[in-house]
A and B are shown apart, each in its own frame.
Chain A
Amino acid sequence: MYLDTIFRIAGVGILTAVISAVLKQAGKEEQAQLATLAGVAVVLMWVLQLLATLFDQVRSVFQLY
């Protein structure tokens, strides 16, 4: 179930790469930058959730409080 996070991040990465390339070709540099930023924000959200799960698990296994 965690595995689809990897594929989602890969998809978002490839998608933002394509979108920013297209926008750059069309001469809209700023929008390309914004698309990149949006992709990074979305992915960062998932990464943070997964990281929170990791820290919770570590805390419960090793009894860190």
Chain B
Amino acid sequence: MEILSIVGIGLVSVTIVIILRQQRPEMALMLSAVAGVVIFLLMVGKIGNVMDILRNLADQAQINRFYLGTVLKIIGVAYVAEFGSQVCRDAGESAIASRIEFAAKVLIMVMALPIIAAVVESILRLLP
């Protein structure tokens, strides 16, 4: 039951963060970031298994590897950007947080452009 240990980590770190926030707000910020990193690191192995299975399925369906790779990359970029912007927003810097989100959106669009181009191309081929 990993969820029990995750919830335990969350509750313990929230308690420590609340204690620290009055005295040392910067330590509280870093502690909440570290709690997020720790929980993700505990889950990353399982995400990797899911990704392996998805890749296998895509190979069996003979989908071009490039498309699945792009989707995975987009998920990764979105996750990391979300993490960074949440930490910034926790610290009360919502301006920097929204810049991070903006950068993530631009990067995701750049990565998705080849797929959009391929879709448009195949639609054009279908049209007489």
Q: A residues within 8 Å of B by Cβ?
A: 2-3, 5-6, 9-10, 12-14, 16-17, 36, 39-40, 43-44, 46-47, 50-51, 53-55, 57-64
Contact = CB atoms under 8 A, between A and B. Distances in A.
Interface string B50-90: 01000000000000000001001101110110010000000
B73 A16 contact: no
A10 B79 contact: no
A64 B76 contact: yes
A6 B16 contact: yes
Main secondary structure of the interface of A (DSSP, over half): helix
Nearest to A17: B23
Contacts, number: 92
A61 B20 contact: no
Given A59-B76, A62-B75, A5 B24 contact: no
A37 B77 CA distance: 32
Given A13-B24, A55-B80, A64-B77, A44 B9 contact: no
Nearest to B5: A3
Given A6-B34, A54-B41, 18 more contacts: A2-B42, A3-B9, A6-B38, A9-B31, A10-B31, A13-B28, A14-B19, A17-B24, A43-B30, A50-B41, A51-B33, A58-B44, A58-B79, A61-B51, A62-B51, A63-B72, A64-B76, A64-B77
Contacts of B83: 54
B37 A61 contact: no
- Chain B's interface size range is 20 to 34
Interface of B: 9, 12-13, 16, 19-20, 23-24, 26-28, 30-31, 33-35, 37-38, 40-42, 44, 47-48, 51, 69, 72-73, 75-77, 79-80, 83
Given A9-B31, A57-B44, A62 B73 contact: yes
